Amino acid sequence: MEKDPNNILDEVTQGEYKYGFYSDIEMETAPMGLSEDTIRYISAKKNEPDWLLQYRLDAYQKWLSMTEPTWAHIHHPPINYQEIIFYAAPKKKKEYSSIDEIDPELIETFNKLGISLEEQKRLTGVAVDAVIDSVSVKTTFSETLEKQGIIFCSFSEAVQKVPDLVKQYLGTVVPTHDNFYAALNSAVFSDGSFCYIPKGVRCPIELSTYFRINAANTGQFERTLIIGDEGSYVSYMEGCTAPMRDENQLHAAIVEIIALKDAEVKYSTVQNWYPGNKKGEGGIYNFVTKRGICKGNNSKISWTQVETGSAITWKYPSVVLLGDNSVGEFYSVAVTNNYQQADTGSKMIHLGRNTKSTIISKGISAGHSSNSYRGLVKMTKRAENSRNFSQCDSLLLGDKCGAHTFPYIKTENKTSIVEHEATTSKISDDQLFYCNQRGISTESAIGLIVNGYAREVLKQLPMEFAVEAQKLLSISLEGSVG
């Protein structure tokens, strides 16, 4: 019954990644490396209109002149972009009209992930647009949605079906030259989701996408575009798992959200890409640009994220509050364990009057990991009477991990109020003793306490997701946060 608390922490923080398998599906891939030819190859594969090819080539030129950002609190060996395959798609002969036609291996993959499409269809009423590597394989519920004029499909499909909408909004929130990884994505993006909610329509179901990185050595570059037209509402969920791999894999996605007048868009993510092993080998590099713009008055965008995966996370879901009275929210739980590194937070750029933003960030660090919050709140001159409230909490498990907070605040007017609070805490021995005394093992106790700590964020998630996220946190604790 020797119980050195450090040993227990070690034990619980050293569980293995549970989604480490990979499926043997026939793949069609682009030649390795990046050049104009690669981009033409991708664009041709997707049968894209010329303007989109030009968009990609333009982004590529910009990318060539840019360098990787170095300001984040993360470290990794240089990435060789000539050793990456920029496009991989399951070889497919025709469109699937029923789930029975889908490669059994693929179904098996979904089953292992616990997201069988049939199950999802029948039980939860969630429309799933499953993206396996680069091509959207199956879209469900699209008919129900179509009746309301909602467009929810893969990005490539949208390019064919509604090219004008795509052209009108693509790159308007995250321009091609926004940052190094955004430029890269704009040049080589493979696929992703597209969503348009027409005027006055409340999307009746939660929209959901599951992403997976599958083929070996495949960088994945999703591109997602969500447009909430005037007075519309949508809640969108993205979840990811990636199979175990030895080499680091690059993942550089872009998500753009546009909320027009009186529209509300909620975007929820549960991210558990492969974090690498206990020694810090392997794992996903997750360099993502997510940004929304509250374009019209009284519009609202909320980001909620639960981040437990990836070797490195570099991600700052942001909101540009352009419309008067618009609202931006960011709720985040970021867990790092072993040698994971996370540099994540949010930017709230207040441009409109009476705009309001909230940032709630809960960092949980274990093992030798490093967990940083980086946030920017900017009140421009025009953003009179605006408010921001930021709360950044860190919970440390063990004494070998690090937590850092980098809040940047810029205020250019006198009527706005910015509040920032930060705390750092540990799980106390008294709390563990109390739980143990009720018969609760230390591992479960840590799971409970961490879930309690993250509750403010978890309760922002849609029901279906909240349950999954709670389990994930506990696994991350048994398996990762312990």
For other proteins, the binding residues (CB under 8 A) are: 1, 3, 428-431, 433-442, 444, 448-449, 451-456
What distance in Å separates the CA atoms of residue 28 and residue 357, rounded to the nearest whole number?
44
Residue number, 12 or 72, with CB nearest to other proteins: 12
Contact status, residue 343 vs residue 334, Cβ threshold 8 Å: no
Contact status, residue 323 vs residue 297, Cβ threshold 8 Å: yes
> At how many degrees (to 10) do helices 463-478 and 442-453 cross?
140
**In the complex, least distance from residue 458 CB atom to other proteins, rounded to whole angstroms:** 9
**In the complex, least distance from residue 451 CB atom to other proteins, rounded to whole angstroms:** 7
Residue number, 100 or 430, with CB nearest to other proteins: 430
Question: Distance between terminal CA atoms of the chain?
Answer: 19
**In the complex, least distance from residue 438 CB atom to other proteins, rounded to whole angstroms:** 4
**In the complex, least distance from residue 443 CB atom to other proteins, rounded to whole angstroms:** 10
Residue keyed to tokens 């020797």 = 2
Task: Record the tokens describing residue 408, joined without a space.
Answer: 């940047």
**In the complex, least distance from residue 18 CB atom to other proteins, rounded to whole angstroms:** 20
Contact status, residue 374 vs residue 342, Cβ threshold 8 Å: no
Residue number, 135 or 432, with CB nearest to other proteins: 432
What distance in Å separates the CA atoms of residue 363 and residue 290, rounded to the nearest whole number?
19
What distance in Å separates the CA atoms of residue 482 and residue 477, rounded to the nearest whole number?
3
Residue number, 170 or 461, with CB nearest to other proteins: 461
What distance in Å separates the CA atoms of residue 397 and residue 337, rounded to the nearest whole number?
9
Residue number, 98 or 437, with CB nearest to other proteins: 437
Residue number, 80 or 437, with CB nearest to other proteins: 437
**In the complex, least distance from residue 340 CB atom to other proteins, rounded to whole angstroms:** 23
Contact status, residue 195 vs residue 159, Cβ threshold 8 Å: no
Residue number, 4 or 100, with CB nearest to other proteins: 4
**In the complex, least distance from residue 433 CB atom to other proteins, rounded to whole angstroms:** 6
Please list, in sequence order, all residues whose beta carbon lies within 8 angstroms of the beta carbon of residue 60, skipping any fewer than 6 positions away.
34, 36, 39, 183, 187, 188
Residue number, 104 or 452, with CB nearest to other proteins: 452
**In the complex, least distance from residue 336 CB atom to other proteins, rounded to whole angstroms:** 20
> At how many degrees (to 10) do helices 180-188 and 50-64 cross?
150
What distance in Å separates the CA atoms of residue 248 and residue 411, rounded to the nearest whole number?
40
Task: Record the tokens describing residue 83, joined without a space.
Answer: 């050793």
**In the complex, least distance from residue 4 CB atom to other proteins, rounded to whole angstroms:** 9
Residue number, 44 or 467, with CB nearest to other proteins: 467
What distance in Å separates the CA atoms of residue 163 and residue 218, rounded to the nearest whole number?
27
Q: Which residues pair with 402 in a beta bridge?
A: 370
**In the complex, least distance from residue 439 CB atom to other proteins, rounded to whole angstroms:** 4
Pairing of strands 88-90, 27-29: antiparallel
**In the complex, least distance from residue 401 CB atom to other proteins, rounded to whole angstroms:** 20
How far is the CA of 23 from the CAs of 19, 103, 112, 216, 248, in angstroms? Answer: 11, 11, 10, 10, 18
**In the complex, least distance from residue 5 CB atom to other proteins, rounded to whole angstroms:** 9
Contact status, residue 336 vs residue 307, Cβ threshold 8 Å: no
Q: Which residues pair with 342 in a beta bridge?
A: 313, 371
Residue number, 351 or 466, with CB nearest to other proteins: 466
Residue number, 178 or 393, with CB nearest to other proteins: 393
Residue number, 1 or 463, with CB nearest to other proteins: 1
Contact status, residue 55 vs residue 176, Cβ threshold 8 Å: yes
How far is the CA of 32 from the CAs of 191, 253, 287, 469, in angstroms? Answer: 18, 19, 20, 35
Contact status, residue 21 vs residue 243, Cβ threshold 8 Å: yes
